Amino acid sequence: MSLAEARADASTGGDIAAEMTAIGRAAKTAAHRLANATTKEKNAALKAMASAIRRNAETILADNARDVADAKEAGTTGSFIDRLTLDPARVEAMATGIEEIAALADPVGTVLAAWERPNGLHIERVRTPLGVIGVIYESRPNVTADAGALCLKAGNAAILRGGSDSFRSSGAIHACLVEGLESAGLPAEAIQIVPTRDRAAVGYMLAGLRGAIDVIVPRGGKSLVARVQSEARVPVFAHLEGVNHIYVDRDADLEMAKAIVLNAKMRRTGVCGAVETLLVDAKVADTHLRPLIVALKDAGCLVRGDERSRTVAPGVTPATEGDWSTEYLDAVISVKVVDGIKEALQHIERYGSHHTDAIVTNDQAAADRFLAKVDSAIVLHNASTQFADGGEFGMGAEIGIATGKMHARGPVGVEQLTSFKYRVRGTGQVRP
Amino acid sequence: MSLAEARADASTGGDIAAEMTAIGRAAKTAAHRLANATTKEKNAALKAMASAIRRNAETILADNARDVADAKEAGTTGSFIDRLTLDPARVEAMATGIEEIAALADPVGTVLAAWERPNGLHIERVRTPLGVIGVIYESRPNVTADAGALCLKAGNAAILRGGSDSFRSSGAIHACLVEGLESAGLPAEAIQIVPTRDRAAVGYMLAGLRGAIDVIVPRGGKSLVARVQSEARVPVFAHLEGVNHIYVDRDADLEMAKAIVLNAKMRRTGVCGAVETLLVDAKVADTHLRPLIVALKDAGCLVRGDERSRTVAPGVTPATEGDWSTEYLDAVISVKVVDGIKEALQHIERYGSHHTDAIVTNDQAAADRFLAKVDSAIVLHNASTQFADGGEFGMGAEIGIATGKMHARGPVGVEQLTSFKYRVRGTGQVRP
């Protein structure tokens, strides 16, 4: 059913309720078509979306400028405005990003496993789309393009709800996505954007739009994810905060530790893969901790430490209990001296968020123990926590990093946006 | 922390609240130990559980007799009493079932994928336990053994809550599981049973016991699953009803269709894999439908049909709209004549429950189309729907059949009771 038909058909009271119900129905209908769309069709649509974005760059930038002006007038500033603001380079990056998604392998139809039973039944486990994915994000217009393209590649219909401050920008980008869909003969309703700034719309999405939404992907800060998790009545690919640790073991190479800690903290302080707490083995506090702290401070990082670390290096402010569970997302790090890997593991278990944690050591046994015992989506040995990224994992674009244990954990790329089913072929078998 | 400590430590008000919180904490602690338990330890525990069940068979049967007596006195009858009642053969079957689970491959630690990045990072996707699994089931004492053993094999701690009518039986079986755990040096809290008949306990489990429960597995009828789904604040491996279809295509072999339909409906009518609706292509209504209906009636099956099917065969009672979405779990079947595969697909999409559906045909193209378009956990070609079973799939024991699209879909065996994490090994890589 087309969106228009569905709308006409919507029977619930209240304009938004009716509107959202209609969007849900149209998405479900589009999802059935997409589930059987060919790779060729999906890639044609993606490539057409990229060209449409390039062709309409001026419109997108003009609409974005109006969003930015309103936000500034409303008194918003700083990183919020930076995330909201588009420029020609960022628009081009969106187009390129979509082309990269087109270049990814199509996960749908992949046979994950196949086996034959003694009775001759041939069983296959095959990837299928999830269905309808609801994406709720903040005022970052580019997410409209990323999320829409990723969902489509995996054969899913998407219902996008961006931050209200990016309403015009997201709308302009969405128009380009629809242009791409239609030029490839795919339903325009395959990627819909919630056409209202009204926050009530989010509530309807979290309620699942009467069974129309299969999974909700929240993409944004702590408060957004918290609301989604507490209100959602459908599965959520939640991305909790990244309270990430690096444990510098007694057998760590100092230069390697320095390079990794500096990169993990300072390469980009606002990403979820940034390290927030540095744990250093007491055995090397004298030799390693001081140079590490000096390097961090030289790089412009604020260091908050426990008592033992403060005796080692000057200019370390006292860390409070709250620091150990804080995701700074800023040039700040908490430092603690621990008595070996055992205390490090206990600290991570108690204060960590099961996102990404790393150990620096040349002791293989210690590394194996750390990789085995730390229950986080990503555990690293001798590498920077900032590798926590779908692209860096070779998965292509990601819609986020999941910290739950169900279905999707770690980077959520096209494969994680699929489900599966069992295909069984027989020759008349009946069960004894 | 031991259960006793945790109990002492429990700070919430209300006896049950405190009790359940303590159980949750103890389970979480046990789960950490289990996550690193060796296959040898887990299998030793499982084998010891089986022997303990055999050794304590008389106690189990005595406690079960008291449960059964109470239930009968309370006026319950029929299949409920049958499911509740144990006999020496059923006790032996529990022991054998646990030994079969011990014989399964240990999924934990399996490397699901491994690849090397251009920068030399070595990435592995490794199976890990889920953590703590809450299993809520009805008065079928044997589920206590199945569920506890399956969760343990996958390295998970289990919190079991059986129907209150099987309280004593489940308790006696649980005592044997604990005996097995302890004899293998694993924590007794690895498998806990809710020590009260109070229904409020279920509410606490559905709320997740303050983050202690990672997933809830409801095992039982429609109403139980419905309550769990509407109240659970943690992920659920839901098993919805099986409104399963068999579509007999124009190119179906009549004898094969007869064998498959009879087996799918009558082998066991109470299982979720039983067929409930028979769809027959109008092109073969005259040649195939009548013999199919006669065979079903001869086998003692009640047949409810649409108008077209009733003109073909005598003694078919009229089907109402409600029949098309009814899981009879009984010797009853609904029959409909459809105009080819297209209408069959539409009917299944509209009335099915996405559990298990089959096509009988010698036309490969029709079979492929059916297998591709039917969005059910299990789709079969020329085989009985009663193969919808983890054992029949070669997965060993199953805890149920999931009809959701997340994480676990279809038979839920040991593999489906695991999660995964990424293990990344480097040599000092930092992100550019």
Q: Domain containing B100 — which CATH number? A: 3.40.605.10
Residues A229 and A136 sit within 8 Å (Cβ to Cβ): no
DSSP B294: H
CATH of the domain at A267: 3.40.309.10
Q: Does some domain include residue A399?
A: no
Look at the block and give the residue holding tokens 């500096």: A262
| Measured distance CA(B370)–CA(B383) in Å, rounded | 13
Task: Identify whether residues B200 and B264 lie together within a single domain.
Answer: no
Residues A216 and A201 sit within 8 Å (Cβ to Cβ): no
Task: Identify whether residues A39 and A168 lie together within a single domain.
Answer: yes
How far does the CA of residue A73 sit from the closest CA of chain B (Å)?
37
User: What does the H/E/C string look like for A242-277?
Assistant: CCEEEEECCCCCHHHHHHHHHHHHHCCCCCCCCEEE
> Considering just the CA atoms, what is the radius of gyration of chain B in Å?
24
* Residue of B177, B159, B215, B169 whose CA lies nearest to B62: B169
Name residue B1's amino acid.
Answer: M
Structure token digits, residue A211? 């069974």
Look at the block and give the residue holding tokens 């959701």: B404
Tell me if residue B264 falls in helix, strand or coil. Answer: helix
Task: Identify whether residues A261 and A220 lie together within a single domain.
Answer: no
**Interface membership of B342 toward A (CB under 8 Å):** no
**How crowded is residue B198: how many other Cβ atoms within 10 Å of its Cβ?**
15
Stretch B38-58: mean pLDDT, rounded? Answer: 98
Is the C-alpha dihedral spanning B10, B14, B16, B17 positive or negative?
A: negative
Q: How many helices (H) and strands (E) does chain B have?
A: 15, 16
* Residue of B37, B34, B5 whose CA lies nearest to B22: B5
Region of residue A301 (phi > 0: left; psi between -120 and 50: alpha; otherwise: beta): beta
CA distances (Å), origin B158, targets A41, A185, B137, B154: 46, 50, 13, 11
* Residue of B71, B294, B84, B42 whose CA lies nearest to B181: B42
pLDDT tens profile B147-172: 999 999 999 999 999 999 999 999 99
Task: Identify whether residues B192 and B258 lie together within a single domain.
Answer: no
**Interface membership of B234 toward A (CB under 8 Å):** no
**Interface membership of A200 toward B (CB under 8 Å):** no
Residue contact B378–A35, C-beta within 8 A: no
Q: Does some domain include residue B270?
A: yes
CA distances (Å), origin A412, targets A140, A221, A228, B401: 18, 17, 17, 26
Q: Does some domain include residue B405?
A: no
pLDDT at residue A14, as a whole number: 62
Residue contact A367–B425, C-beta within 8 A: yes
Q: What is the interface pTM, i.e. ipTM, of the complex?
A: 0.89
**Band of pLDDT at residue B14, cut at 50, 70 and 90:** low
Residue contact B383–A426, C-beta within 8 A: yes
Name residue A427's amino acid.
Answer: T
**Interface membership of B40 toward A (CB under 8 Å):** no
| Measured distance CA(B355)–CA(B375) in Å, rounded | 9
Count Cβ atoms within 10 A of the Cβ of residue A277 and give its class: 0-12 exposed, 13-18 middle, 19 or more buried: buried
Count Cβ atoms within 10 A of the Cβ of residue A330 and give its class: 0-12 exposed, 13-18 middle, 19 or more buried: middle
B36 phi/psi in degrees, rounded to 5? -115, 15
Residue contact B384–A429, C-beta within 8 A: yes
Residues 105-124 of A with CB under 8 A from B: 115, 117, 121, 123
* Residue of A251, A246, A206 whose CA lies nearest to A227: A206
Residues in chain A, pLDDT under 70: 1-14
Residue-by-residue DSSP string for A62-75: HHHHHHHHHHHHTT
Residue of B nearest to A29 (CA): B349
Task: Identify whether residues B220 and B104 lie together within a single domain.
Answer: yes
- B379 chain-A contacts, CB cut-off 8 A: 421-424
Structure token digits, residue A362? 């040349």
Structure token digits, residue A404? 């739950």
- A154 chain-B contacts, CB cut-off 8 A: none
How far does the CA of residue A71 sit from the closest CA of chain B (Å)?
33
Q: Nearest Cβ partner of A431 from B215, B376, B384?
A: B384
pLDDT at residue A220, as a whole number: 83
| Measured distance CA(A68)–CA(A84) in Å, rounded | 7
Task: Identify whether residues B182 and B316 lie together within a single domain.
Answer: no
Task: Identify whether residues A93 and A202 lie together within a single domain.
Answer: yes
pLDDT at residue B401, as a whole number: 87
Q: Nearest Cβ partner of A430 from B128, B260, B419?
A: B260
Q: Does some domain include residue A133?
A: yes
How far does the CA of residue A25 sit from the closest CA of chain B (Å)?
13
Which residue pairs, CB below 8 angstroms and at least 24 apart, start in B262-265? B262/A430, B262/B295, B262/B296, B262/B299, B263/A430, B263/A431, B263/B384, B263/B386, B264/A430, B264/B358, B264/B384, B264/B385, B264/B386, B265/B296, B265/B299, B265/B301, B265/B331, B265/B333
Residue contact A429–B382, C-beta within 8 A: yes
Residue contact B379–A406, C-beta within 8 A: no
pLDDT at residue B404, as a whole number: 85
DSSP B105: P
How far does the CA of residue B133 sit from the closest CA of chain A (Å)?
12
B19 phi/psi in degrees, rounded to 5? -60, -50
Question: Into how many domains does chain B fold?
Answer: 2
DSSP A209: T
**Interface membership of A423 toward B (CB under 8 Å):** yes
**Interface membership of B218 toward A (CB under 8 Å):** no
Residue contact A382–B215, C-beta within 8 A: no
- If residue A421 lies in a helix (H) or strand (E), which one and from where to where? strand A418-429
Residues 6+ apart with CB under 8 A from B392: A117, A121, A431
| Measured distance CA(B121)–CA(B119) in Å, rounded | 6
Residues B213 and B133 sit within 8 Å (Cβ to Cβ): yes
Residue contact B382–A425, C-beta within 8 A: yes
DSSP A171: H
| Measured distance CA(B224)–CA(B239) in Å, rounded | 10
Q: Does the model's pTM come out above 0.90?
A: no
| Measured distance CA(B64)–CA(B70) in Å, rounded | 10
Q: Nearest Cβ partner of A406 from B115, B407, B422?
A: B407
- If residue B423 lies in a helix (H) or strand (E), which one and from where to where? strand B418-429
Give the pairing of strands B410-411 and B401-402: antiparallel
Which residue pairs, CB below 8 angstroms and at least 24 apart, start in A291-300? A291/A254, A291/A258, A292/A248, A292/A254, A292/A257, A292/A258, A292/A261, A292/A335, A293/A335, A295/A258, A295/A261, A295/A262, A296/A261, A296/A262, A296/A265, A296/A266, A296/A333, A299/A262, A299/A265, A299/A266, A299/A331, A300/A266, A300/A331
Task: Identify whether residues B120 and B9 lie together within a single domain.
Answer: yes
How far does the CA of residue A203 sit from the closest CA of chain B (Å)?
17
Residues B259 and B317 sit within 8 Å (Cβ to Cβ): no
Task: Identify whether residues B80 and B58 lie together within a single domain.
Answer: yes
**Interface membership of B215 toward A (CB under 8 Å):** yes
Helix ranges (H only) for B56-139 are 57-73, 78-84, 88-103
Task: Identify whether residues B417 and B310 lie together within a single domain.
Answer: no
Which domain does B267 fall in, by range?
A: 244-387
Q: Does some domain include residue A407?
A: no
pLDDT at residue A4, as a whole number: 47
pLDDT at residue B396, as a whole number: 81
Chain centroid to Cα B196, Å, comes to 24
Residue contact A405–B214, C-beta within 8 A: yes
pLDDT at residue B330, as a whole number: 93
Residues B335 and B289 sit within 8 Å (Cβ to Cβ): yes
How far does the CA of residue B128 sit from the closest CA of chain A (Å)?
9
pLDDT at residue B6, as a whole number: 44
Residue of A nearest to B108 (CA): A372
pLDDT tens profile B63-82: 999 999 999 999 988 888 98
Which residue pairs, CB below 8 angstroms and at least 24 apart, start in B342-348? B344/B245, B344/B247, B344/B249, B344/B279, B344/B281, B344/B370, B345/B370, B345/B373, B345/B374, B347/B245, B347/B277, B347/B279, B348/B245, B348/B247, B348/B279, B348/B374, B348/B376
Chain centroid to Cα A388, Å, comes to 10
Helix ranges (H only) for B78-188 are 78-84, 88-103, 142-153, 167-183
Q: Which of A380, A409, A424 to mutate to test the interface with B (most CBs of B within 10 A)?
A: A424
| Measured distance CA(A399)–CA(B75) in Å, rounded | 56
Residue of A nearest to B35 (CA): A373
Residues 238-267 of B with CB under 8 A from A: 253, 256, 259-260, 262-264, 267
| Measured distance CA(A54)–CA(A51) in Å, rounded | 5
Residue contact B430–A384, C-beta within 8 A: yes
Name residue A25's amino acid.
Answer: R
Task: Identify whether residues B224 and B268 lie together within a single domain.
Answer: no
Residues 169-198 of B with CB under 8 A from A: none
Q: Does some domain include residue B430?
A: no
Q: Does some domain include residue B112?
A: yes
Residue contact A384–B431, C-beta within 8 A: yes
| Measured distance CA(A424)–CA(B125) in Å, rounded | 27
Q: Does some domain include residue A231?
A: yes
- If residue A225 lies in a helix (H) or strand (E), which one and from where to where? helix A222-231
pLDDT at residue B1, as a whole number: 41
- B407 chain-A contacts, CB cut-off 8 A: 406-407
- Of residues B363 and B14, the one with the higher pLDDT is B363
Cα angle, residue A36 at apex, residues A31 and A40 outer, rounded to 5°: 110
Name the average pLDDT for chain B: 93
**Interface membership of A425 toward B (CB under 8 Å):** yes
**How crowded is residue A308: how many other Cβ atoms within 10 Å of its Cβ?**
16
Task: Identify whether residues B233 and B283 lie together within a single domain.
Answer: no
- A426 chain-B contacts, CB cut-off 8 A: 380-383
B99 has pLDDT over 60: yes
Residue contact A378–B259, C-beta within 8 A: no
* Residue of B90, B98, B94, B48 whose CA lies nearest to B65: B90
pLDDT at residue A6, as a whole number: 44
CA distances (Å), origin B317, targets B265, B289, B310, B320, B383: 17, 15, 8, 10, 27
Residue of A nearest to B129 (CA): A405
**Band of pLDDT at residue B399, cut at 50, 70 and 90:** confident
Stretch B375-381: mean pLDDT, rounded? Answer: 94
Residue contact A382–B426, C-beta within 8 A: yes
- If residue A160 lies in a helix (H) or strand (E), which one and from where to where? strand A157-161
- If residue B161 lies in a helix (H) or strand (E), which one and from where to where? strand B157-161
Residue-by-residue DSSP string for B295-320: HHHHTT-EEEE-HHHHHHSSSPEEPP
Look at the block and give the residue holding tokens 């409070």: A320
User: What does the H/E/C string look like for B388-404?
Assistant: CCCCCCCCCCCCCEECC
